[in-house]
Structure 1
Amino acid sequence: MTRGQDIAYDLVLVLLSISLFILGIVLVMIICRRKPQKSDQKQQVLPVKSCAIAYQLTDIDAATDGFNHRRIIGNGRLGTVYSAMSPRGELVAVKRIHPRLVLSNAGFGFASIMKTLSLAQHPHIVPIIGFSQAPGERIIVMEFVGTVNLDFYLHENPDGASLLDWNRRLRVAAGVARGIEYLHEGMAPNTIHGCIKASNILLDVKFVAKLCDYGLWSLAPKEKRGLVGYVDDEYWGERGGGACKESDVYGLGVVLLELLTGRRSEHGLLVRWALPLIKSKKLNELLDPRLVIPSDIKPLLRLAKVASACVGNYRKDRPSIPQVTSILNNLEVEVCH
């Protein structure tokens, strides 16, 4: 081998060594970049929802200052709601079921039902954290979302109309539908809400709608107070009556009409007043007069048609909640984004 060939051979070896060295550095960089990505992916996985905690009644009593009336933040057909501090120092909402309902539902299986309902995990569902039971007492501990519900914004707060513009109302409508769809299709076993109405829809500080009081309708299945106007006529029938998926769809339809008109359900009068206006497309007479009618009225017309279908006379003819949710999701994307 000549001297020139020796030099060429040595040069090839040097270049090969440099290439291998560079390749090694590149491989190390790729591996180092992948590791944090795997870690990030693990962090994005939602944690498994833990079952409700069984609290001692003495703990609940202490957390609510002996059920002090100053801590009352709500009072409904099922019970009174108090603000409280959990043993972990977190602000929670405590619902104390009315004593008369406790006595009339001795075989309700409260603990078992609470443990099942507490597994619900969805952005539009108020999480159940725990419960407590004792002779004459049934108590539900929930995540504290806020003290303001949709009913207050629409019908009681003087500034509610301006705070709930058309975009926010569409977001609320879609959010409520997604929450109901999760109860009907996403939970195991499937859960009927049983009392879809504006006062059972809480709004957080970002106006995200969250359903509460789900799965508790059988505590007061025939009590009309607070329910008339939000359930269909078949609910009260002797055959096949009571709550079901179709009755939840009806309640959603009433809520949609409230969002559109700014009016209360008025024990069913809202439905009878609104349907002819929707059929004749007289939206100028239908829509909440406190808000400016948008230049493009087609999304609100579609919302009105969905509401009309939801409150149809017969359960078998109503759309399913997945169908309603799909339409409202598309409306939300089209108008709000």
Structure 2
Amino acid sequence: MWCDLAITAEEDTRVNLGQLTRFTLSQLKNATENFSSRNEIGRGGFGIVYKGVLSDGTQLAIKRLKLESRSIGNEKQFQTEVEIISMASHRNLLRLYGLCTTPTERLLVYPYMANRSVSFQLKKTDHGAPAMTCQMRKRIALGAAKGLAYLHEQCNPKIIHRDVKADNILLDDEFEAVVGDFGLAKPIDFKNTHVTTAIRGTIGHIAPEYMSSGKSSEKTDVYGYGITLLQLITGQSALNLSRLADDDVMLLDWVRKLEKENNVEKMIDPHLKEYNMNDIKELLKVALLCTENNPTSRPKMSEVVNMLEGEGLEERWAEWEQREVQRNQEALDMPHLPVGWNLDSNSSFMQALELSGPR
């Protein structure tokens, strides 16, 4: 577990802490050109991430936590990230390379992800860069699923990420998915089903049961993963205020409506010039299964891996369609508002609010 890593003076050499490397502050300042804004590659609620290059040419991503007041929250986030990553080791999980602690600084050092993140790649097309191919997106979906399945089912205690989104699915130089940012992650004993906390995460990615009760579980991670799949399909953000007039601000609502209309082509990322419709529909089915309102109806991440590898998807989808028929019938049977009864549209709209950001 956690031990106090604070140091009172810098050393000229790195000191290994188990598998971690302790860096001096001067090494990381030199690597980032004194934390120059030119090297900034990410920014979030807990700090700023910089690209760094060591004297031997090694490229790193260095997260500098905000410690203006040495807040308890920031210190806890630093400790959490070190603890969680020390528990988990998998090809599709971000590896902590090292750290630096001084009386005034907390820095975490990771391998540099050459292709940044899923969200970065989806936005990159706005500047004319080539889009990720359909096959790349499928591979990313599978890699992220494997990383989350490892956290949920192979770690002891199991770990829930609690902030699964496109910003936190990182991509290495071969576009292999790497689940990152464990600042909100929580270990949870196998005999427990959930952990209750203050709501943290990003609106649009937060599962409805977590939003209403503060209870998060591996199924809330599954929900966030499903939204990320929809982003891979559509190229869009989880919230789109341009659709406010159509009451389709949430990406999931928009996609569900198009799926009901059997209009899948309209939702496909327009930058994706070539694609296999069967592949798109496969990702869509998995995404809709993962974003069921009822958490017990969502698959486990190991089941998602199996479905993406060609096992069990059609059976699960047939069950989903049966539930959808039942839901539609229940909606028809519900009493309707009297004619002329107008609701203020603003009362039902949830402001798009970031509760956490990419870090």
Relative to the length of structure 2, the TM-score reads: 0.68
Is the 8 Å Cα contact of residues 66 and 74 (structure 2) preserved in structure 1? no
Is the 8 Å Cα contact of residues 205 and 223 (structure 2) preserved in structure 1? yes
Is the 8 Å Cα contact of residues 117 and 215 (structure 1) preserved in structure 2? no
User: Which residue number in structure 2 is paired with residue 283 of structure 1?
Assistant: 264
User: Which residue number in structure 2 is paired with residue 53 of structure 1?
Assistant: 21
Secondary structure in 1 matching 2:310: helix
List aligned pairs for 1:127-146, cutoff 5 A.
127-146=95-114
User: Which residue number in structure 2 is paired with residue 319 of structure 1?
Assistant: 299
Secondary structure in 1 matching 2:178: strand
d(CA) in 1 for partners of 2:299, 2:185: 22
d(CA) in 1 for partners of 2:69, 2:307: 38
List aligned pairs for 1:167-178, cutoff 5 A.
167-178=135-146
Structure 1 letter corresponding to 2:278: K
d(CA) in 2 for partners of 1:101, 1:251: 32
1:269 and 2:242 correspond: no
1:121 and 2:94 correspond: no
Is the 8 Å Cα contact of residues 77 and 183 (structure 2) preserved in structure 1? no
List aligned pairs for 1:70-149, cutoff 5 A.
70-86=38-54, 90-99=58-67, 102-105=70-73, 108=76, 110-111=78-79, 114-146=82-114, 148-149=116-117
Secondary structure in 2 matching 1:169: helix
Spell out, residue by residue over 1:200-244, the C-alpha distance to the aligned partner (whole angstroms, 9 max, x if none). Answer: 1222232211121025357xx7576x711111133233x4x1542
User: Which residue number in structure 1 is paired with residue 230 of structure 2?
Assistant: 257
How far is the alpha carbon of 1:86 from its aligned partner? 4.5
How far is the alpha carbon of 1:291 from its aligned partner? 2.7
User: Which residue number in structure 2 is paired with residue 244 of structure 1?
Assistant: 217
Report the count of equivalent residues. Answer: 277
Spell out, residue by residue over 1:156-179, the C-alpha distance to the aligned partner (whole angstroms, 9 max, x if none). Answer: 334778431211111111111111
**Bigger Rg over Cα:** 1
Distance 1:62 1:307, change over 3 A: same
Secondary structure in 2 matching 1:176: helix
Spell out, residue by residue over 1:309-336, the C-alpha distance to the aligned partner (whole angstroms, 9 max, x if none). Answer: 11111222211111111111238xxxxx
d(CA) in 2 for partners of 1:50, 1:87: 23
Is the 8 Å Cα contact of residues 166 and 228 (structure 2) preserved in structure 1? yes
Structure 1 letter corresponding to 2:303: Q
d(CA) in 2 for partners of 1:130, 1:162: 33
d(CA) in 1 for partners of 2:289, 2:267: 16
d(CA) in 2 for partners of 1:308, 1:187: 26
Secondary structure in 1 matching 2:42: strand
List aligned pairs for 1:187-202, cutoff 5 A.
187-202=155-170
* Structure 1 portions without partners, runs of 5+: 1-48, 332-337
Structure 2 letter corresponding to 1:75: R
Aligned equivalent of 2:209, options 207, 221, 234: 234
Is the 8 Å Cα contact of residues 306 and 324 (structure 1) preserved in structure 2? yes
How far is the alpha carbon of 1:145 from its aligned partner? 1.8
Spell out, residue by residue over 1:142-192, the C-alpha distance to the aligned partner (whole angstroms, 9 max, x if none). Answer: 111225321122123347784312111111111111111122223333222
Distance 1:303 1:222, change over 3 A: same
Aligned equivalent of 1:64, options 18, 32, 47: 32
How far is the alpha carbon of 1:116 from its aligned partner? 4.5
d(CA) in 2 for partners of 1:113, 1:160: 36
User: Which residue number in structure 2 is paired with residue 303 of structure 1?
Assistant: 283
How far is the alpha carbon of 1:139 from its aligned partner? 1.5
d(CA) in 2 for partners of 1:109, 1:198: 20
How far is the alpha carbon of 1:71 from its aligned partner? 2.2
Secondary structure in 2 matching 1:163: coil
User: Which residue number in structure 2 is paired with residue 150 of structure 1?
Assistant: 118
Structure 2 letter corresponding to 1:271: L
Secondary structure in 1 matching 2:64: strand
Is the 8 Å Cα contact of residues 191 and 215 (structure 1) preserved in structure 2? no
Is the 8 Å Cα contact of residues 50 and 119 (structure 1) preserved in structure 2? no
Secondary structure in 2 matching 1:126: coil
